[in-house]
Structure 1
Amino acid sequence: MAEPISVEQQIKLLEDARKLVLGDPNYYPQILQGIIPIIKPDGRADPAKVELRRWGADFLAETFASPTLPADQKETLSLSVLEVIKNMIENPNEDSAVVKSVVQTAASIYPLVFRWMINNSYDGPTWERMLAIKSRILRIWDTAVPGVRICCIKFAQRVVLVQTAGPNADPRRGDPLEVSLSMVPQNHPLLAPRNLEAEASGLLDRMLSVFQESISDAILVDATLNTLSILIRARPQVANRILNVILNFNPLKQANSPMTPKLRVMVKSMEKTTRLLLMHINKRDPQNPLAGRIQQYVERMMRSRNEIFDEATRKRGPPAPMDGLDAAKRQKLGAQLPTPAPKFHVPPLTPGPHTVAELFTVTTDEGLKAFDVSQLSEDLVVKIGITILQKIDGDTLNQAVEGVRQRYLSLQAAQPELLNPATAPLGVDEDEDDYEPDFYNAEDTEQILNKLDNAPPDEPEIKAPDMAPGLFALPPPPPLTQDQLVQVGQGTVSRVFGVMQTLEEAGKKQKAGLNRLAASSGDRDDWITIITRLATRSAAGLEEASDIIKAEPDQPVPFSLSNTIRESLYLYVLEDFRKRIDIAVAWLCEEWYNDRVQMTLGEQTVVHYEKWVLRVLDGIVPYLDARDKVLTRFLSEIPGLTPDVLARVKGLCRDPAMVNLALTSLLYLVMMRPPVREIALDAVEDIWNNYEDAKPIAAKYLSKWRPGFAERLKDNEEDKKTNGVAIEV
């Protein structure tokens, strides 16, 4: 039976999962589903589980506050964690750190759940869980520890922001700040606008009550002021109400009581936060009706602050110096000269050989000498060394360095320089500086033969062993895991896209015309050409498929370099789609061409064009404006149009402000792209059948381009007059 994993090991594994999602937000749904069972309260009093719940609550707060996670995914994930958050916060014995993170998570997901309820009025259990969480947070607001109370203030600010009417609320945008009471229909079965607005007004009064209490806590006042700036900017209808309360608040009123150091810091903090908030409001909106009153308040507060905190200095004069006195004033003040620091004594080394450790050991404590520093980790040794160097006296350090230097000099003097016999020249006197060779007469032939006869027999020659090096090969590297392959591939793609930031845009150079080679100019457009062809052609025909398969937009695909480049191209286009729509068109043209080539060759392949057309269209449609021409240009330049693509265009007509844009784009296709004229006219007729606001314009276009529609429309009108019933066209 395997041993149970300790809490420390579990937290280490959870940290690895956290690093994974920080690198790639696409893993958030899988990781979150695996973490919820671990951090879910089980009702047993297990102290070890507190660490896991703390980590889990922090992870939830970080997840729903992450800007890299799309709002639609946050909305889906928020529904799965409501029950866990509810159980955690309703536990009366829950750890305060867990409660703090849970309240932060609730503040992040409240707008998401509210938007979900607007569009899904049937989901009553979800709204009941959210109401239970909200009720619990509002109950512990006044009795919890200060850290939890600050988070409760943030939660109340989100509730007020959501449950008040916002200016020009746009439900198509994914920003949680855009969720407001204006989006709630009047006949919603669960969300009553009048009750929600009344609750928001009461919560705002509760937030502002901190400025009206006789004794105010600086922490709560500063936290409230920091949350009110967003309400003043995003909800103009309550801005004057908030400003009037702030202008009647005097953060210096507590300065009349005995001034303790703690009270001094609290008063200064409240005054500075209040003043900066009001100055920011005046700077943002100089034409504010309360601008003059705000300016007077700020000037009066600055004068009062100077009078209160500078009065003691003016009365007593400059403070007398405590140390480092001037020599001319010591006699008058009777100050004593500071006694010099005791001299640090470094005992000399005893005669004999010594190690390097003994040379640098300056302490006389035998216990410290016996301690083995190598048992400590490098990080701990570095921290201890930095702390000692920061706190040690400079004179003491200099005396210790001088003592070690004297030790080293004494060791050098005690050991004379020895000549290494292995390297000393043979037959040479050390005291002889110059070498003068002796010249003798050369020996004749007879003398040489006599020496050879008298010489001893030669010893057999010993051959040196063959030392030729053999073949050497490095061991093969260990195989990469799947996670390492994914990480390396993503890093490569990131570096490829990073090159584009340093390249020159195509508009700054003269084009070479149609006869130029692709990617031959060295500008940003050429690099885009390289990237798109890497994504579309590098792995053509390598996908595992039994037949030609259309890749669905929501279908998960295994990791590959091509899919990673496609995902990066998609994100790059959406960052500024109005300026980069030509990049999207070029990329999709390459996808369309590659799909057609693969199908012509009869190879087994996966087609990608339609999937990425729909993804790009879904990404830019929520951010379109009624005056945008990007949609018309995109539809007219992409190589292939399908009913699914036109269905996205028809969906724009749900917003009356976007009807003209949708119908104009379809009319352009009818006029300029005859191959898709019929499906475009079908889309216009579908709009005429389903959207009342679009009927006049759609009928005008259909009467001109679809023969027989005017007669059917006329017959329909006559039947209305006669029978009172409209016949469907």
Structure 2
Amino acid sequence: MAAPVALSIAEQIKQLDDARRLVLSDANYYPQIIQGILPIINREARIELKRWVADFLAETFASPTVPSQQKETLSLIVLETLKSMLENPHEDSAVVKSVVQTAASIYPYVFRWIVNNPYDGPTWERMTAIKSRILRIWDSAPTGVRICCIKFAQRVVLVQTAGPDADQRRGNPVEISLSMVPHNHPLIPPRNLEAEASGLLDRMLGVFQENVSDAVLVNATLNSLSILIRARPRISNKILNVILNFNPLKQANSPMTPKLRVMVKSMEKTTRSLLIHINKRDPQNPLAGRIQQYVERMMKSRMEIFDEPSRKRGPPEPTDGLDPTKRQKLGAQVTNSAASRLYVPPLTPGPHTIAELFTITTDEALKTFDVAQLSEDLVLKIGIPILQRIDSDTLNQAIEGIRNRYQSLNAAQPEELNPETAPLGVEEDDDDYEPDFYSAEDTEQILNKLDTAPPEEPEVRAPDMALGTFTLSPPPPLTPDQAAQIGQGTVSRVFGVMQTLEEPGKKTKAGMNRLAASAYDRDAWITIITRLATRAAAGLEEPSDAIKAEPETSSPLSLFNNIRESLYMYVVEDFRKRIDIAVAWLCEEWYNDRIQMKLGGEAVLHYEKWVLKVLDGIVPYLDARDKVLTRFLSEIPGLSSAVLDRVKGLCRDPAMVNLALTSLLYLVMMRPPVREMALDAVEDVWATYDDAKPIAAKYLSKWRPGFADRLKAPEDDTKDTNDVTAAA
């Protein structure tokens, strides 16, 4: 068997680019692609392949499309590869830069993995080795790598310091900090982590206390510290005190070269922007007054250093209309001279187009530009401001020049003779013809001329050359994947339009008699989108077994599921303000399911699936004082035991018992068809959760009269048993 032909570097890079385009279109392929490209990286690999893989890993772990849990799993896979590339002393600087960026991105996920899995010592040893190597090359690496090392140190400090006090019951699933580490963790003791973070922070702040002339490092440190100031209030005062003691204009005292001038300006601007942004975010900051004084002092010093030479010369003097041989005088009146007049060149002899008639510029390159290439909107945006600001005298001169051109064209045109009244024997193109020496012919002369004229030859017509019917070839058919991708892009644009529309205010609506989508507002778009998702594919879908047999991307009906998924994400992003959208959508789903069931046959039902999914999306973020759950349960058209099970599950948290039982009581009072189902749910809560028994017993005693007797009977039995035991 012949050995496989080795691919060239260009061919391998092309295949890798194809794999990258695949994962950018569908993030689900990231695990397979990463596991496939890691084996090709070793110490003997070509530098082009190493750079591509390192850049791809940095892009992957910085991408917001990859879920957090998936990043955590992938970070454990790439640790050994990152470690081997960093430990190579002769590694390319571009590869090291991308590896450090990747390490900064995966450090929080590895940290969270170790917190939840304290037995995985080898993983933490690999991460510790990577961290030690990055901190060793921090001061000696090229500038680009040092910037990435600063970012890595900032991420370590962010993870290994305690975050702001948050709701301990629910917490923040995105926040990864020292607060989530137990005190008795065998691999990462909190004291050691906090001490290491403090040392790294001091090392980052050392750039402001040393005489560092590299503005790139100073700006990179300032940009990294802005996140620490915002996310870690406990160390923000320490950082701000160091920055307020830093003088970016200190080096301006040395001989000012163009390079040093740019660097000093850059450091001063970055420092000032950071402090102004901090004051805008938190005007009540205790250091707000000191920050304001620092900013004003920096601006004053900057003007004295960089603007002093120009201010010594005085303001610019007017020069137009003055004698250049004499001393310039301020306030001199500029007179209109011949040099200030607009020159419109005359047209050359010969025929001219309308564009040449109205073109007054002398720039040949500008004459060749076709204005028709610009859109009408762009022409209006450019033309209207120009017409508003143009000098009236200049405009009048241009109009006068065009008028002179037009008059010269009219004067140069010869007077055409009427061929019917032209004199005999005179040709139209005769140069010696003088029309003043001849008079026009009368009627008798014209008739005599027609009688003596030779007979006209019959006109020879060319044979008809009719062209056949031309038909364009049909376009190639779209593949299912292309159709799904185009449909998803359309859905994204529709939701993009809806994002720009205003929220509905307090306005009077037409009620039930209004037409659906009769106005260009958010409600109209919601109506269009929900009905497109629910009704467009009604009757075309197959039963669930047939749908599961094929992947979703190959189904032509996946577009409508994509719309439903986009609706779900749009609602969950801000469910408190968009609960009315969720109710309207689910009402359409319920109505469509009922119509399909009424028509008979096997129908695909969607209401139950999506109402449960919406509930699962909003329940984890509910607060004990929220009324959204009660409104949602009262307005959706159908309730099932699965929906009430989600509500009962809230009672696992003692703080949410009142919200769950209040929502169920509202159903008992206001929705009689589901009263018994809601009371059964309340009774299940009473039997399952001890914290909910007092409130649940109160509701059941009122709405189920027999429950009080059943509740009293076990107490009497218990009392009789205790009496018998005491007597014995």
Please confirm whether the aligned pair reaches a TM-score higher than 0.5, indicating the same fold: yes
Relative to 1, partners in 2 of residues 1:680 and 1:78: Cα closer, same or farther, differing over 3 Å? Answer: farther
Instruction: Say which SS state the counterpart of residue 614 (structure 1) adopts.
Output: helix
Instruction: Say which SS state the counterpart of residue 511 (structure 2) adopts.
Output: coil
- 1:16-46: CA deviation from partner (whole Å, max 9, x where unpaired): 5555655x5xx11214532542255532423
Aligned to 2:41: 42
Structure 1, unmatched stretches of 5+, are 331-425, 452-457, 723-729
Offset at 1:158?
1.9
Relative to 1, partners in 2 of residues 1:441 and 1:243: Cα closer, same or farther, differing over 3 Å? Answer: closer
Relative to 1, partners in 2 of residues 1:655 and 1:113: Cα closer, same or farther, differing over 3 Å? Answer: farther
RMSD: 4.7
CA contact (8 A) 2:501 2:522 kept: yes
Q: Residue type of the partner of 1:244?
A: N
Q: Residue type of the partner of 2:246?
A: F
CA contact (8 A) 1:518 1:526 kept: yes
Offset at 1:241?
1.8
In 2: Cα distance, 1:164 partner to 1:469 partner: 81
Relative to 1, partners in 2 of residues 1:719 and 1:705: Cα closer, same or farther, differing over 3 Å? Answer: farther
Instruction: Say which SS state the counterpart of residue 561 (structure 2) adopts.
Output: helix
**Quick one: which of 285, 288, 305 aligns to 1:288?**
285
Counting only pairs closer than 5 Å after superposition, residues 41-60 of structure 1 correspond to structure 2 as: 41-47=40-46, 50-60=47-57
In 1: Cα distance, 2:463 partner to 2:5 partner: 57
Relative to 1, partners in 2 of residues 1:304 and 1:439: Cα closer, same or farther, differing over 3 Å? Answer: closer
Instruction: Say which SS state the counterpart of residue 51 (structure 2) adopts.
Output: helix
Relative to 1, partners in 2 of residues 1:636 and 1:170: Cα closer, same or farther, differing over 3 Å? Answer: same
Aligned to 2:201: 204
CA contact (8 A) 1:549 1:605 kept: no
CA contact (8 A) 1:39 1:52 kept: no
Structure 2, unmatched stretches of 5+, are 329-424, 724-728
Aligned to 2:566: 568
CA contact (8 A) 2:480 2:554 kept: no
Counting only pairs closer than 5 Å after superposition, residues 453-468 of structure 1 correspond to structure 2 as: 467-468=465-466
Aligned to 1:489: 487
Aligned to 1:274: 271
Relative to 1, partners in 2 of residues 1:536 and 1:43: Cα closer, same or farther, differing over 3 Å? Answer: same
CA contact (8 A) 1:540 1:598 kept: yes
Aligned to 1:153: 150
In 2: Cα distance, 1:719 partner to 1:41 partner: 79
CA contact (8 A) 2:593 2:605 kept: yes
Aligned to 2:418: none
- 1:117-161: CA deviation from partner (whole Å, max 9, x where unpaired): 445556555544444433332233222222122122122222222
In 1: Cα distance, 2:172 partner to 2:277 partner: 27
Q: Residue type of the partner of 2:663?
A: S
Aligned to 1:598: 596
CA contact (8 A) 1:551 1:607 kept: no
Relative to 1, partners in 2 of residues 1:466 and 1:599: Cα closer, same or farther, differing over 3 Å? Answer: same
In 2: Cα distance, 1:720 partner to 1:549 partner: 60
Aligned to 2:366: none
Aligned to 2:471: 473
Matched, 1:613 2:611: yes
In 2: Cα distance, 1:600 partner to 1:320 partner: 85
**Quick one: which of 509, 512, 515 aligns to 1:514?**
512
**Quick one: which of 180, 198, 203 aligns to 1:183?**
180
Q: Residue type of the partner of 1:533?
A: R
Counting only pairs closer than 5 Å after superposition, residues 234-383 of structure 1 correspond to structure 2 as: 234-306=231-303, 309=306, 313=309, 327=325
TM-score by length of 1: 0.69
CA contact (8 A) 2:163 2:232 kept: yes
Identical pairs, percent: 72
In 2: Cα distance, 1:117 partner to 1:702 partner: 47
In 2: Cα distance, 1:506 partner to 1:303 partner: 48
Aligned to 2:29: 30
In 2: Cα distance, 1:721 partner to 1:97 partner: 81
Counting only pairs closer than 5 Å after superposition, residues 535-574 of structure 1 correspond to structure 2 as: 535-545=533-543, 558=555, 560-574=558-572
Aligned to 2:339: none
- 1:81-126: CA deviation from partner (whole Å, max 9, x where unpaired): 4444444434433322222223223323333343444455565555
In 2: Cα distance, 1:165 partner to 1:717 partner: 51
In 2: Cα distance, 1:622 partner to 1:256 partner: 59
In 1: Cα distance, 2:97 partner to 2:673 partner: 60
In 2: Cα distance, 1:68 partner to 1:573 partner: 19
Matched, 1:140 2:137: yes
CA contact (8 A) 1:103 1:137 kept: yes
Instruction: Say which SS state the counterpart of residue 606 (structure 1) adopts.
Output: coil
CA contact (8 A) 1:104 1:155 kept: yes
Offset at 1:583?
1.5
In 1: Cα distance, 2:478 partner to 2:656 partner: 51
Relative to 1, partners in 2 of residues 1:58 and 1:281: Cα closer, same or farther, differing over 3 Å? Answer: same
Aligned to 1:664: 662
In 1: Cα distance, 2:549 partner to 2:699 partner: 34
Offset at 1:67?
4.0
Question: Is the deviation greater in 693-702 or in 38-47?
Answer: 693-702
Offset at 1:565?
1.8
Structure with larger RCO (C-alpha < 8 A, sep 6+): 1
In 2: Cα distance, 1:639 partner to 1:121 partner: 48
Relative to 1, partners in 2 of residues 1:504 and 1:131: Cα closer, same or farther, differing over 3 Å? Answer: closer
Aligned to 2:368: none
CA contact (8 A) 2:79 2:127 kept: yes
TM-score by length of 2: 0.69
Q: Residue type of the partner of 1:638?
A: I
In 1: Cα distance, 2:474 partner to 2:621 partner: 52
Relative to 1, partners in 2 of residues 1:34 and 1:541: Cα closer, same or farther, differing over 3 Å? Answer: farther
In 2: Cα distance, 1:683 partner to 1:291 partner: 54
Aligned length: 605
Offset at 1:609?
2.4
Relative to 1, partners in 2 of residues 1:187 and 1:307: Cα closer, same or farther, differing over 3 Å? Answer: same
Q: Residue type of the partner of 2:215?
A: A
Aligned to 2:210: 213
Offset at 1:65?
3.1
CA contact (8 A) 1:551 1:611 kept: no
Q: Residue type of the partner of 1:246?
A: I
CA contact (8 A) 2:208 2:243 kept: yes
Relative to 1, partners in 2 of residues 1:193 and 1:329: Cα closer, same or farther, differing over 3 Å? Answer: same
Offset at 1:635?
2.4
CA contact (8 A) 2:41 2:49 kept: no
